[in-house]
Structure formats: structure tokens, C-alpha cells
């Protein structure tokens, strides 16, 4: 089941926002797909639904195998897939996390208004592009980690970055898991992963990674927006990147080990890309510890980039940090496996939740939500494509009961990169975006072609599904003004 062929599984409509993949064959649970009549054809155009069914066959899965409205075909799990496995009897799978471990998003607000920066946008975008290395294999020459410091990054994540002068303690309070996933063991990481990670910390990378300057175009919930520090016309910055070559190498290193573990423990796989090991096994524990290292690298990576963004704004606009007030609202992971506790069939149960292209969406009063957001819930950050818009939502109690505290993570690809490049032939995507008032800089024309708005579903349609389903609630809409791409 490694090809992207269309699934022939018939879906049963539950309501306007959910369709069921009925339990059949070796499925241990049902599948639930969050989508709408508008988005359903995109979901059925590839093997996403079949992958939801495949995940439902893995040992120890509880609840349902889930897919968010931005879901599309991925390695093993669909991108946009969520599945929880019993901590004692379930499995852990690299395919449920992905290659870019802890690819995630962070959002900053500022005291700036849209009209404060309109005349400086070209200069800002150019300066950001210069200060934040992007593209395949990108490096920053003035940040060279020693082997000892790289180990600290893998253990401490964003907390190491702050201790090294990249940001403030206040930033740590506004990051999922306070920017550090416990259980990391740097001794498990291969020499090749260390080698790839050492020069790439503080870099954006390639593909759909970006830094985006935008502004609040529309406010849906003024009371919550005010607590987040967002108001109409206010300037924001989004950062989207992950664990770079280190995370990719960690995933690659463990795929063969997990394939062997699947055979060793007698786990029947509907697709070898779902190779896995019991969570409690030595192989399962090793993968989790290595994944935590890569997740911490990603938290540190976004933290360092944040510091350089602040420095860039301060220099270009000749403003002090106090004047700028470029504060971190939140940082969320969306390629990760984590141990969490849920009420399942009337009993509290510890599970390992795999979120691959999905965002945590915890409600008010949840102990994992920062103290400043205890009254409203966890901020949920949903970036769109570079030509349309992005959204800030808030987590809900409904998500805790229905989706293991999860929601969508973005717009979701509609065209493969090859198809997007073909469609963009003869067009100047940067000029089309400039005509919309969006300044874009990237390492090459091909990157913009791969990432053009038409390659993605409309994020507004995706967000409408999760909002109407009650698994996260809209707070504000952001409109892009300038973007740098990997």
C-alpha cells in the first residue's frame, strides 16, 4: 500500500463534518475522517482513506484511527493522521511521526500596525532572507555547535537556546512542553545524524518551511484575541520549520530497525511503511528517545530563528525590543508522538498519541496549557499557503473527547510537487503574489512553483470543518504581507 492510488473504501457519513471508515478486515477500530462535501473529493483522490484503515489494524490502537480535513497521502500514516495506542499494549511507529520530526509552527505578535511596515516590507523580507539561511542543506556560518553543545540541544531543546542567549525565559512558557520533550537520549543518535544537525541549527530548510510576516485581518473572538495580544491590523510573524537533516536521519536510521522489530514481535503489517515496535520493547523505547532528541532540536531551531527575526525587525525599523514587543504567542508541534492521559470507556488511560500533520488542541484548565492561557485553552496555529491566509484557533473540551486533543495543522497539499511545477510552467509565481501585495523571496523559482497557492487546499475550508466540528474554535484570521521560503 505504498502507492498513492485511490482508495475504493466506501465512507459512511456521520454528519456534515465527519465520515466513518467502517471496521472491516483486520481493522481493530473504526476510522473517522473529518472533512466536508467540498473537501471530500480531494481526500478520496489518493490513498488517504486506505491509510486510515491500515493504521486501524495496528496493535493496541484505542478509540478510532483519525484523519483531519487537511489529510493527504503520506509515508505509512496519512499526513493529517492521528492515532492513540495503549501505553502498555500498543506500538510506536516512525510512520506515525514522519521524517521531519517536530515540524511545527510558532506565532509572534508585535506592537506594530500594518501601516507601520508597508513601506519597509521589501527591506524586511530581504533582511530576513539574508539572516535566516534557507534551502536544502542551508547552514549559518556564525553558529557552530560543538559536539557537547549539540548533545545539550538534544536534551534541553529551546531551553538550551534561551540559556545561550537566543530569547527569554518568557518564551519557554509559551512553547508546547516548554520546548523540551523528556526522555531524550543523545547516546542513541547516530554519527550521521549528529553530522547533519551540527551546521543546520537556526536554519529554515526547504519545502514548505517559511517565515511569514502578516497582520490580523479579521477577529472572530475579541475577548480571546485580546488575551493572546492580537487585534485587528496588528503585525504578526509565523515560523514553520522542524528538525532539519537531523530529524530526517533519525527517522531513516530507525525504519530498518523497526521493520525487524515488527517481524520479531509477530506484528502483521498491512503496509511495511507502518513498521513499528511495542512501546515497552527495547526497540520502541530507543525510537522514542531518539525521536525526543530530534523534537528538542526542532524546538531549539525555531527558538533561534525567532531571536534572529526579532533582531532583524529591530535593526530594519530602528526600534528597541521594548517598543517592538515581539512576543511569542505559542509554538506547537505537528509531527510527534507523546504520552498523554485520556478518559476512554469511562476509565483514565495512558496512551501514546501519534500526531502526523496534526496539532495538539487542549482546552482551558488542562494542566499542560500555559498558566497565562488556563482560562481560554491552548492556542492552535493553522498556517495556510503563502497567497491566502492563516488562522489562530483555540483548543476545546470536544477535542479531548473526540480526537485525543487534536485538530488540523494546515491547508494540506492538493497537488504533488511535480504536478505543481508542471502547472506553474511559464508563470512567474512571485509576480502573481506581488500583484496581491505579498512579497516573496526564495532560494529558487522551483520552490515557489512547488509551493504555489494552487498546490494546497483552501485553508479556510479546512478550518471551517474543525471549527464546526467543535475540535477547535476560530479566534482570528491572518493575512500575509511578506514570506521567505526554503
Does 121 show up as a binding residue in the annotation? Answer: no
Say what the pLDDT of residue 455 is. Answer: 72
What local confidence, expressed as pLDDT, does residue 147 receive?
86
**Helix, strand or coil for residue 448?**
helix
CA nearest neighbour of 220 among 479, 475, 477, 478: 475
Q: What is the pTM of this model?
A: 0.95
* pLDDT band (50, 70, 90) for residue 345: confident
Report the pLDDT value the prediction gives residue 140, as an integer from 0 to 100: 58
Domain boundaries, the chain: 12-485
Confidence of residue 417 (pLDDT cuts 50, 70, 90): confident
- Phi, psi angles (nearest 5°) of residue 97: -115, -45
Longest CA–CA span in the chain (Å) reads 64
List pLDDT tens digits, range 135-158. Answer: 555 555 567 788 899 999 999 999
pLDDT tier at 2 (50, 70, 90 boundaries)? Answer: very low
Angstrom distance (rounded) from CA 55 to CA 234: 42
For the stretch 59-80, pLDDT in tens is 999 999 999 999 999 999 999 9
Q: Is 165 annotated as a binding residue?
A: no
Q: What is the bridge-based pairing of β-strands 327-333 and 104-113?
A: antiparallel
Residue 174 marked ligand-binding: no
Residue 197 is assigned to a ligand binding site? no
Q: Give the C-alpha separation, 74 to 420, whole Å.
A: 17
Nearest to 482 by CA among 207, 150, 291, 235: 235
Distance CA 102, CA 243 (A): 6
409 in catalytic set: yes
Of 171, 483, 120, nearest to 319 by C-alpha is 120
Q: Is residue 100 annotated as involved in ligand binding? A: yes
Tell whether residue 42 is among the known ligand binding residues: no
The verdict on whether residue 383 carries a ligand-binding annotation is yes
pLDDT higher at 388 or 352: 352
Q: Report whether 335 belongs to an annotated binding site.
A: yes
Question: Is residue 385 a known part of a binding site?
Answer: yes
The pLDDT of residue 190 is above 60: yes
Residue 409 is labelled as binding a ligand: yes
| Least confident window among 55-59, 139-143, 333-337, 454-458 | 139-143
Nearest CA-CA partner of 378 in 68, 105, 162: 105
Phi then psi for residue 384, to 5 deg, are -105, -155
The pLDDT of residue 418 is: 79
Give the CA radius of gyration of the chain: 21
pLDDT tier at 438, thresholds 50, 70, 90: confident
CB contact at 8 A, 352 and 92: yes
Q: Is the pLDDT of residue 444 over 80?
A: no
Mean pLDDT of 189-205: 94
Q: Consult the annotation and say whether 450 binds a ligand.
A: no
340 labeled binding residue: no
**Average pLDDT of the residues of the chain:** 93
- Answer whether CATH 3.40.50.2300 is correct for domain 12-485: no
Q: Do 105 and 331 meet the contact criterion of CB atoms below 8 Å apart?
A: yes
To the question of whether residue 78 is assigned a binding role by annotation, the answer is no
What pLDDT does residue 426 have?
74
Q: Which residues 6+ apart lie within 8 Å of 319 measured at CB?
A: 313
Which cell numbers in the block locate residue 173? 512558557
Which one of the listed residues 72, 307, 409, 467 is annotated catalytic?
409
pLDDT of 5 reads 59
Amino acid at each position: 500500500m505504498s502507492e498513492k492510488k485511490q482508495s475504493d473504501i466506501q465512507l459512511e457519513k456521520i454528519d456534515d463534518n465527519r465520515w466513518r471508515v467502517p471496521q472491516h478486515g483486520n481493522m481493530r477500530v473504526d476510522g473517522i475522517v473529518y472533512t466536508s462535501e467540498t473537501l471530500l473529493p480531494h481526500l478520496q483522490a489518493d490513498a488517504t482513506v486506505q491509510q486510515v484503515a491500515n493504521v486501524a489494524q495496528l496493535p493496541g490502537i484505542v478509540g478510532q484511527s483519525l484523519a483531519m480535513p487537511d489529510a493527504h497521502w503520506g509515508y505509512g500514516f496519512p499526513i493529517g493522521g492521528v492515532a492513540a495506542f495503549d501505553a502498555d499494549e500498543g506500538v510506536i511507529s516512525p510512520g506515525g511521526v514522519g521524517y521531519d520530526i517536530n515540524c511545527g509552527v510558532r506565532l509572534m505578535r508585535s506592537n506594530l500596525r500594518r501601516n507601520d511596515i508597508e513601506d519597509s516590507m521589501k527591506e524586511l523580507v530581504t533582511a530576513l532572507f539574508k539572516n535566516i539561511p534557507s534551502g536544502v542543506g542551508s547552514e549559518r556560518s556564525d553558529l557552530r555547535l560543538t559536539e557537547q553543545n549539540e548533545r545539550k540541544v538534544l536534551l534541553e531543546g529551546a531551553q538550551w537556546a534561551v540559556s545561550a542567549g537566543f530569547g527569554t525565559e518568557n518564551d519557554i512558557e509559551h512553547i508546547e512542553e516548554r520546548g523540551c520533550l523528556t526522555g531524550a537520549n543523545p547516546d542513541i543518535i547516530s554519527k550521521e545524524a549528529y553530522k547533519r544537525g551540527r551546521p543546520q541549527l537556526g536554519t529554515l530548510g526547504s519545502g514548505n518551511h517559511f517565515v511569514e510576516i502578516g497582520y490580523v485581518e479579521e477577529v472572530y473572538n475579541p475577548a480571546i484575541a485580546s488575551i493572546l495580544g492580537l487585534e485587528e491590523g496588528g503585525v504578526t510573524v509565523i515560523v514553520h520549520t522542524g528538525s532539519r537533516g537531523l530529524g530526517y536521519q533519525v527517522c531513516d536510521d530507525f525504519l530498518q530497525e523497526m521493520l525487524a522489530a515488527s517481524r520479531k514481535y509477530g506484528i502483521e503489517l498491512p503496509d511495511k511503511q507502518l513498521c513499528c515496535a511495542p512501546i515497552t520493547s527495547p526497540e520502541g523505547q530507543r525510537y522514542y528517545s531518539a525521536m525526543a532528541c530530534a523534537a528538542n532540536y526542532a524546538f531549539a531551531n525555531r527558538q533561534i530563528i525567532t531571536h534572529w527575526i526579532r533582531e532583524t525587525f529591530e535593526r530594519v525599523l530602528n526600534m528597541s525590543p521594548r517598543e517592538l514587543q515581539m512576543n511569542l504567542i505559542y509554538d506547537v508541534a505537528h509531527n510527534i508522538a507523546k504520552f498523554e492521559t485520556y478518559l476512554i470507556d469511562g476509565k483514565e488511560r495512558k496512551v501514546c498519541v501519534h500526531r502526523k500533520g496534526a496539532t495538539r488542541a487542549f482546552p482551558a484548565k488542562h494542566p499542560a496549557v500555559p498558566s497565562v492561557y488556563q482560562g481560554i485553552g491552548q492556542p492552535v496555529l493553522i498556517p495556510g499557503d503563502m497567497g491566502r491566509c492563516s488562522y489562530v484557533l483555540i483548543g476545546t473540551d470536544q477535542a479531548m473527547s473526540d480526537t485525543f486533543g487534536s485538530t488540523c495543522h494546515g491547508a494540506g497539499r492538493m497537488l504533488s510537487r511535480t504536478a505543481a511545477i508542471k502547472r506553474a510552467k511559464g508563470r512567474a509565481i512571485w509576480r502573481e503574489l506581488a500583484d496581491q501585495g505579498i512579497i516573496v523571496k526564495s532560494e529558487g523559482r522551483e520552490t515557489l512553483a512547488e509551493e504555489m497557492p494552487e498546490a494546497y487546499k483552501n485553508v479556510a475550508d479546512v478550518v471551517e470543518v474543525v471549527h464546526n466540528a467543535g475540535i477547535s474554535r476560530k479566534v482570528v484570521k491572518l493575512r500575509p504581507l511578506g514570506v521567505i521560503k526554503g
